[in-house]
Amino acid sequence: MKPRIADKRIGTDVLPINQVALLENYRTNFSMPDIEELASSINEVGQIQPVIVNLVDDEYQLVAGQRRYYAIHHLNLDTIKSVVYENLTPEEVSIIQLSENIKKAYNPAEKAGAIPNAKNLVENIKGQTFSKAEFSREMKFSPTRVGNAFNYDNLEECIKDAVENKQITYSIGVQLGRLEKEKQLEKFDEVIRIKQRGDRINSKQLAKNITAIIKTKARPDELILTGGEQLPDEHVPGLIKKYRACFNQAASALRGLTLMLKEKDGFRDALLGAEYHGLNLYKLATKIPEHIDSLETKLEEYNQEGFENALYPKRKKHILDLILKEKKVKGKDKTAKELIKEAQEQEIDINRIYSDTEQPRKTERRDGKQTSYLQDYENYLNNLAANIAEVGVLTPIIIVKRKSEKGDYRIVDGESRWRTSKKAGLQKIPSIPTELDDLSCRIIQLEADIYRKDSPIERAQALDQIKDYRKSEGVYSKEDFAKEIQAFMGMKPDEVRKYMILLDLDTYTKDRIFHTKEISFTAGLELARIEKAKQRKELANVVIAGGLILREVKRLVDNTILSDKFYRAVKGKEKEFIDECAKAGEHFAERKIIDSTIEYLAAADQRLRNLPSEEKFFKDNRVAQSYAFFKKSLKDFNQAM
């Protein structure tokens, strides 16, 4: 009988970091801001999540936790907390890497519900009221995300139930939440009638429709104001948005041309003579630096962050994190982060631990009803239980000592791991017992709920390694492998299909998705529709060079497929015709990028010649950041030319 991976686990140990070696296939493309952010967190609360190592021939090899490994190196720490396995096979190594990225049950409505709760909590602690815009800045979220969360919170309960049961999407619920309560039900009934007819709901059209309804309800003086004079400084946010878009577009276009300059012979000569609407690209690019001093001077004078720090700004902590770092725990002379850092991991009897029924993330409803999202969560638990039975618990849960009739310890973070460990039949679970107060527990739970992330790229990388291993052993079957992924990851067949599509891509395109991350997961799926590897590679380069968004990638792929169908209809000199058309198509794509660059540079030139006068504009760090990005991209392009 094949031994379980969990049987090869020796235990948790603190190892000298210089004794832990990286595997050859490990990535090295993590950004420095990511590493610095994690290093800052480890410095404050300690290393909560251990790395995983494999002991082979007296050498510790890193299996999972590369970001943690780099962050601890960055802090110049001598030791690293590790879960030690011994003599893992390459396949088992990949399975553990995959286990760290099992797809979680995702409920957008639940995540949105945590944001108003967090706002109320922060306002009570700080003793002040935040507007939604102010709160979004404190949380490091986009105003749209915060606004959507409050729109959803404003929904009638029956409409929330419809979202929970997937009768309507979260985005439709958000739009309905913009309306007053009495209008919501009327519009909701209309949406349901449309769906019952079998018609598709266009959320953008619904948004426009609801905006029209809101405008007709506005007071006359409000309508006059929107169409008449603007209040003082009211136009500044609009100017900031326009300048940032202008600089970012020009910078992205310049980066694309710089990339193509390095890869294509003779491309420089083409750019020297490139013109669009009478404007020469090279002359425009070399002329702009002559009159950027006025903006740079004002940014350095007014910008609070400082222009020099704008290009690579240090990531600020969000307000929940700052509270945990600064506020003393009730009855203690230390903060929550200090107490967590001091706590020691222990193996604790799983029956002495109980769940927190008041936690923000609801794993069951008070009325006992089962919704579609709760069913997804239950399926996720069943899948994770099978995984834990095979691999073990990789990350300790955080608990607090609170004796009750249910047990001795209440869960702060890690309820899913606790539930699935019970399902898997574990008697003990790795835990970090802390001495936190109830307020700190609630903040940690809200933080975990709001900032929880999914990692499709990392998951795909691990799957790709398992696939390569199976192929090398001669035991790979696409159909069997898809079934195994579905069972092990708890994915739906359609999700499995997407991952299998990506795994079957050529090496060049996969590298741009998995390693350099120049192409997004969804854009990769679009490129996978192109059958010819050479053609796909060319389109991948266009996507990267042009900084194309998903909609543009889809259009590019659609046009290519339609062209191929036309080519196949040509009789006789098919190959010569296709080659000529391919060259023409490539030339057209390059021409479009060049023309766009000239257009964006001309717009930037115009903006730089007509700067606003308001101090508020120059004090906005986002303007400085976008300008710094543009300046660097322009400098790199001119140097490449």
Q: What is the pLDDT of residues 97-116, one digit of tens each?
A: 777 666 555 567 767 777 88
Helix (H, G, I), strand (E, B) or coil at 397: strand
- Among candidate residues 245, 246, 257, the one with its CA nearest the CA of residue 547: 257
Q: Distance (Å, rounded) from C-alpha 391 to C-alpha 45?
A: 26
Domain that holds residue 147: 109-227
- Among candidate residues 457, 387, 391, 380, the one with its CA nearest the CA of residue 415: 380
> Is 356 within 8 Å of 412 (Cβ atoms)?
yes
Residue 16 pLDDT grade (very low, low, confident, very high; cuts 50, 70, 90): very high
User: What local confidence, expressed as pLDDT, does residue 223 receive?
Assistant: 32
> Is 81 within 8 Å of 145 (Cβ atoms)?
no
Establish if 266 belongs to a structural domain: no
% of the chain residues with pLDDT over 90: 4
Amino acid at 158: C
Establish if 427 belongs to a structural domain: yes
Establish if 27 belongs to a structural domain: yes
User: What local confidence, expressed as pLDDT, does residue 221 receive?
Assistant: 40
> Which alpha helices (H) appear in 140-202, and where do they start and end?
143-153, 157-164, 170-176, 181-196
Average pLDDT over residues 15-24: 84
User: Would you say residue 541 has pLDDT above 70?
Assistant: yes
For residues 223 and 329, membership in a common domain is answered with no
Q: Mean pLDDT lowest for which of 239-253, 271-285, 554-568, 604-618?
A: 554-568
For residues 69 and 115, membership in a common domain is answered with no
> Is 253 within 8 Å of 600 (Cβ atoms)?
yes
Mean pLDDT (the chain, rounded) = 77
User: What local confidence, expressed as pLDDT, does residue 263 receive?
Assistant: 65
User: Would you say residue 220 has pLDDT above 70?
Assistant: no
- Name, in order, each residue with C-beta under 8 angstroms of 108's C-beta and a sequence gap of 6 or more: 170
Establish if 158 belongs to a structural domain: yes
For residues 333 and 430, membership in a common domain is answered with yes
> Is 625 within 8 Å of 310 (Cβ atoms)?
yes
* Burial letters 565-586, b for 16+ CB under 10 A, else e: eeeeeeeeeeeeebeeebeebb
For residues 79 and 116, membership in a common domain is answered with no
The last residue of one of the domains, among 179, 211, 227, is 227
For residues 116 and 80, membership in a common domain is answered with no
Query: How far does the chain reach from its first CA to its final CA, in angstroms?
Result: 64
Residue 176 pLDDT grade (very low, low, confident, very high; cuts 50, 70, 90): very high
The last residue of one of the domains, among 193, 211, 227, is 227
Q: Distance (Å, rounded) from C-alpha 445 to C-alpha 468?
A: 39
The DSSP H or E segment spanning 415 is helix 415-423
For residues 342 and 438, membership in a common domain is answered with yes
Establish if 122 belongs to a structural domain: yes
Q: Distance (Å, rounded) from C-alpha 350 to C-alpha 407?
A: 10
Residue linked to tokens 């996969």: 510
Q: What are the pLDDT digits (tens) for 248-272? A: 888 877 877 787 777 667 778 878 8
User: Would you say residue 227 has pLDDT above 50?
Assistant: no
CATH number at residue 364: 3.90.1530.30
> Which alpha helices (H) appear in 515-573, and where do they start and end?
521-527, 533-546, 550-568
For residues 178 and 217, membership in a common domain is answered with yes
Total domains, the chain: 3
User: Would you say residue 349 has pLDDT above 90?
Assistant: yes
Give the tokens for residue 78. 């001598």
Give the tokens for residue 21. 């070696």
For residues 57 and 129, membership in a common domain is answered with no
* Burial letters 24-61, b for 16+ CB under 10 A, else e: eeeeeeeeeeebbbbbbbbbbbbbbebbbbbbeeeebb
Q: Distance (Å, rounded) from C-alpha 279 to C-alpha 418?
A: 65
CATH number at residue 66: 3.90.1530.10
For residues 439 and 341, membership in a common domain is answered with yes
Average pLDDT over residues 362-373: 56
> From the CB of residue 231, how many other CB atoms can be counted at a distance below 10 Å?
7
User: Would you say residue 352 has pLDDT above 90?
Assistant: yes
- Name, in order, each residue with C-beta under 8 angstroms of 467's C-beta and a sequence gap of 6 or more: 476, 481, 503
The last residue of one of the domains, among 88, 118, 135, is 88
Statement: the pTM of the whole predicted model exceeds 0.75: no
> From the CB of residue 191, how many other CB atoms can be counted at a distance below 10 Å?
19
The DSSP H or E segment spanning 587 is helix 574-609
> Is 315 within 8 Å of 322 (Cβ atoms)?
no
The DSSP H or E segment spanning 400 is strand 397-404
> From the CB of residue 507, how many other CB atoms can be counted at a distance below 10 Å?
9
Helix (H, G, I), strand (E, B) or coil at 476: coil
Higher pLDDT, 468 or 441: 441
Establish if 596 belongs to a structural domain: no
Establish if 554 belongs to a structural domain: no
User: Would you say residue 209 has pLDDT above 60?
Assistant: yes
Q: What are the pLDDT digits (tens) for 60-83? A: 999 888 888 888 888 888 899 888
Higher pLDDT, 537 or 313: 537
For residues 361 and 434, membership in a common domain is answered with yes
Backbone angles phi, psi at 395, to 5 degrees: -125, 130
Amino acid at 524: G
Residue 399 pLDDT grade (very low, low, confident, very high; cuts 50, 70, 90): very high
Report how far apart, in Å, the C-alpha atoms of 587 and of each of 536, 582, 602, 616 are: 16, 8, 22, 44
Establish if 40 belongs to a structural domain: yes
Q: Distance (Å, rounded) from C-alpha 640 to C-alpha 620?
A: 31
Residue 616 pLDDT grade (very low, low, confident, very high; cuts 50, 70, 90): confident
> Which alpha helices (H) appear in 197-353, and where do they start and end?
203-217, 220-227, 236-263, 267-272, 281-287, 293-302, 319-326, 336-342
> Is 628 within 8 Å of 311 (Cβ atoms)?
yes
For residues 141 and 56, membership in a common domain is answered with no
User: What local confidence, expressed as pLDDT, does residue 232 receive?
Assistant: 44
